[in-house]
Amino acid sequence: MKIKETLFPKLLAAFLVFNPNISFSQTSPVHDSRYVFFSGIGETQDEALKDGAARLARSINSTVTSDQTSTLTRVNGNNSYTFSQTNHVEATPLALRHVSVVKKICPNTGCTFEFKILKDAWISTLKTELNNAVISAKRISINSNSTWKGAAEIISREQQLLTHYSAANTLDTLTKGSEISTSVEYRESLGLSKKYVSELKIKLHSSNDSGAQKVLEELIPVTARSTQGNLIVVAEAKPKFGKSSRGYIAKQQVSLKFLESSGGAQLVKQHLFTTQASSDKSHSVALDKANEKLMDHVRSIKLVDILE
């Protein structure tokens, strides 16, 4: 049996992270409800901010899942009950904005950074971001879901909105739902975009190579894939190997062909990804590095840009 419970602190307005290993500056206005105060530990400010953001998320926006098991055994006519429970805590990431450092404390190991955020400014920025995301998404014209151009526009709209998902969750948490109209409009727009994507029918074909397969998985959403349809994308990888004074060299090339099959297969666009890496260990290690570089590049571009 699983039990889910959303945890919110009693004083949500303050958003203080209570931790025995974290101390607040005596001069910090920790009781000023205009601000959100939190702390994090790390060797650098960026590390401490990442740690503090995770602590804050667990404090104000967590879900606890409990796995409970009970067992009844009978030995020599006597009943024996055993019970066990395991709790799992999952925290939704927060979209932090306008973070400033209050204090930095560096003992023997690591540093504790105390941060603060002006809550009104944080809320205002999130509202603006969500409103702009909805407006921008509506500007993406959807001509047809049966052409690659139309499919790329549909996928681009969903991806654009998804980048603001944590902002919507954060706004709901900060305002306790008082800005519900902003998040509702965003979620309605995202839901409509997901519907459009699910109506796409894109067939994927790739060579027996993990590099080619990963490129397709990154570019084409799962919900848009189909075994039928008139949109086809073919990925073919052609790795090449060599040696130099630096050791083993691997060059990875993944070509993409976008076809529309209505009235006969017609090539719409071709695209080629090329990366290269080296290793002093083996060609296999070099190829793995080349594939990693290739995927970093693929993640940095959009399908709609490829098809322009």
What domains are there in the chain, each with its CATH number? 2-118 (no CATH), 120-198 (no CATH), 202-306 (3.30.160)
Q: Please tell me the pTM assigned to this model.
A: 0.71
Which one-letter amino acid corresponds to residue 104?
K
Cα-based distances in Å from 166 to 61, 131, 187, 197: 11, 14, 11, 20
Q: In this structure, are residues 216 and 235 in contact, taking their beta carbons and an 8 Å threshold?
A: yes
What is the three-class DSSP state of 292? helix
CB 220 within 8 A of CB 238: no
Specify the DSSP element, H or E, that contains 53: helix 45-60
pLDDT digits (tens), the chain, 308 positions: 433 333 333 333 333 333 323 333 334 455 688 899 999 999 999 999 999 999 998 887 655 455 666 666 666 667 666 666 665 556 678 899 999 999 999 887 789 999 999 999 999 999 999 999 999 888 877 767 888 999 999 998 999 899 999 999 899 888 887 778 888 999 999 999 999 999 999 999 998 888 899 999 999 999 999 988 889 999 999 999 999 887 999 999 999 999 998 767 899 999 999 999 999 999 999 999 999 999 999 999 989 889 88
Q: Is 240 helix (H, G, I), strand (E, B) or coil?
A: strand
